[in-house]
Amino acid sequence: MTLDAIPSEKLLWEETVPGGCHWSWRLPRGVTLRLTAKGDGANLALVLYNAGQKLERYNMPDSLKAQHTAHYTRGHVLMSDMGCAMASVTADSLGWHDPLGLLLDAERMHAKYGAHNYQQHRNGMYRAGKDGLLIEIGKYGLTRRDLVAPVNFFSKVSVDEEGGFRFHENHAKAGDAVDLRLDMDVIVAVSSAPHPLDPRPDYAPAMVGISAWRSGPAPADDYCRTFRPEGGRALQLTDLQYLA
C-alpha cells in the first residue's frame, strides 16, 4: 500500500529520530503522525497517555482482546484502559506492527551489545528503549510505575508452534510507513532503540522519520469505525468527551 502525500498546507512539523534515541510530544486530537522507516529493520516503540488525565493510558491487553488480534495494521484502534480510542492506524504500507515484544532494557542491551556509555562515546552511546521512554514520560510527571507496554512499530513478532515468540528479521524496509491518527489529546513518547528480540549482533538501530499534520478527528464513515465493531465503540466513547 502506498500512502497518500501529506497535504503541505496541513503539515505541522517533521522530525527525524536518530537510531536509538527518544522523544515525546503533547499533541491534540485530530493530528496524524506519519512514521517512516529511514533504514531496513527499523523499530519505533511508542506509548500513549491521555494528556488531560494521565491515569488513562494505552492498554495492550484490552486493545488486542477487544479486536481479536495479535498485531496492528490499518483499521486497528489503540485503546485505553478505559475503553476509549486513543489513536487509530489509518494507513499502513507494512501490514504488521508488534504489540507484544515489550522493550529493550539496559541489562539486556549490555549483555548483548556491550557497554557504550556517554562519558566515553558521547552521541555514539548505546541507549535502551526502556530507559529512553522513562526519560520521556518523566517530563510529564510520570514515573517507572506508569510505563506501559509499547507498540513496536515496524517490527513483526509471531508465535511459533511451541508458544514461543518468533522475531521476523528484515520485516521493515527503508521507506515503509504507517499513519497513526490521534483520537484524543495525548502525550506520545517514542524510542527508536532496537527491538528486544532482534537477533542482529550489532547495535545499529535505524532512524525513523515523524511527520505531523492536521487530519481532523475520525469522520462518520471512517474505516477504523467499521473495521471492527469494538473499534467503532471505542471511537464513539472518545467522541463523547469532545462534544461541543
Q: What pLDDT is recorded for position 162?
A: 87
Task: Return the domain boundaries, the chain.
Answer: 18-240
Q: Taking 70 as the threshold, does the pLDDT of residue 218 lie above it?
A: yes
**Matching residue, cell 528486544:** 196
Contact in structure between 23 and 216 (CB atoms under 8 Å) = no
* The pLDDT value given to residue 50: 98
Per residue in 229-239, pLDDT (tens digit) is 999 999 999 99
pLDDT at 122: 76
Task: Kindly report whether the global pTM for this prediction surpasses the value 0.85.
Answer: yes
Is the pLDDT at 118 greater than 70? The verdict is no
The tally of CA atoms less than 13 A away on the side-chain side of residue 154 is 32
| pLDDT tens readout for residues 11-20 | 999 999 999 9
pLDDT given for residue 29 in this prediction: 98
Beta strands in 102-214 (DSSP E): 151-153, 157-159, 165-167, 177-182, 186-191, 208-214
pLDDT bin (cut points 50, 70, 90) of residue 210 is very high
**Average pLDDT over every residue of 190-198:** 98
Give the amino acid at 12: L
